[in-house]
Copies of this chain bind each other. A is one copy, B any other.
Amino acid sequence: MRRTTSLFVLMTLFTGANLWLFAQGGPKGQPPTDAETPIGPRWWPSEFGPDDQRGAANRQTPAKVLEAKDLITEGKVYQLGRLYESEMPNFGKRHFSLTIPGLPTGKPQGKNQLVYNDELVSGEIGQVGTQFDGLGHIGVRVGTDDVFYNGFKLSEFGTSYGLEKLGVEKVGPFFARGVLLDMAGLKGERALPKGYVITPEDLQKALDAAKAEIRAGDVVLIHTGHGFWWMKDNKKYNDGEPGIGLAAAKWLTDKKISLVGSDTWATEAVPGEDPDRPFPVHQWLIVRHGVFNLENLDLSELAKDRVYQFAFVFSPLRLKGATGSPGNPIAVR
């Protein structure tokens, strides 16, 4: 950390500090006025300690499990994960390929004539389809390095074969209260329009309408209705989305949640509040607060059944050094 300090000093002195001369600002959409990094003052060490790599997953405690358990009254399970298929809408150049080697993969063997099939998958598996953003996914270029949650630097933990810190394998399972905020329902629309910036007031209204509460460690899922277009009109699905803005993100992090998710590919509004600042909510949640983000969920059944509080269970794959995880999270009421 001392080295970091001197680096900052050096850069401020000799590089002219111009990396930090953006007008910057707080969570309301206005840039912060301080200037330590492109996203404001330094955010480390984490409230969970300077060595922490799990962020808000630390709020997953036995007490949370017991709280969540109490929300299970009917035993009904909702799958929130979407199908992984090659045609699904992907971000940028990401791809997903699934093939069956041979048919069958293993030819008949033995008197019992056993055959078997495998599947070969290639793709950005933690960042396609229903995806859980780990803490190694998002960072900020500060000077000549990329800084992530808890101040970890990519130059120190990144390798071509996986991340040596902040890998998704360190997160552990979520078994917590889940709260659905049905924004589409609140607005009486099938889907909020792309670019719609969900505000704290919106969230509060949905919470009130649900007669629900959000506690520390909870999982908050935001139903925008945008998921309706998944595999129906992938171009439309990918071409922008409604989602939370920075103020709403702050509203959530102030509540000390563990995880936020949505039926969109980024959880935050696209285009966002400031055209010069792409995906600022990702940075606010993941980099600054260690709060996780689940994208491309299917929340339609939950919303239809007006299930606003439930036990949420999701256990990320322990992909060593990965930036995220695919998943099929469940809500249980």
Q: Which residues of A contact B (CB under 8 A)?
A: 1, 3-15, 22-24, 31, 38-39, 60-66, 69, 72, 74-77, 79, 81-86, 92-95, 97-127, 130, 136-142, 144, 146, 154, 158-163, 169, 172-173, 175, 274, 276-280, 282-283, 313-324, 326-330, 332
What is the minimal beta-carbon distance from A275 to any residue of chain B, in angstroms? 9
CA distance A323 to B119 in the complex (A): 6
CB distance B320 to A84 under 8 Å?
A: yes
Contact B160 A106 (CB under 8 A): yes
B146 touching A104 by the CB < 8 A rule?
Answer: yes
Besides A69-B69, A112-B278, 19 other CB < 8 A contacts? A5-B6, A11-B14, A12-B13, A14-B14, A38-B111, A39-B112, A65-B76, A79-B315, A84-B319, A100-B160, A102-B160, A103-B158, A107-B159, A113-B141, A115-B146, A118-B323, A118-B324, A119-B321, A318-B328
Residue of B whose beta carbon sits closest to that of A123: B121
| A145 CB → nearest B CB, Å | 9
Q: Nearest Cβ distance between residue A147 and chain B, in whole angstroms?
A: 9
Q: Is the CB of B136 within 8 A of A85?
A: no
Partner of A160, one of B7, B101, B114: B101
Bound CA span A110–B280, Å: 10
A selection of 5 A-B contacts at a CB cut-off of 8 Å is: A100-B101, A100-B158, A100-B159, A100-B161, A103-B103
B328, A119: Cβ atoms under 8 Å?
no
- In the complex, are the beta carbons of A15 and B12 less than 8 A apart? yes
Residue of B at shortest CB range from A133? B116
Expressed in whole angstroms, the minimum distance between the Cβ of A273 and any Cβ of chain B is: 11
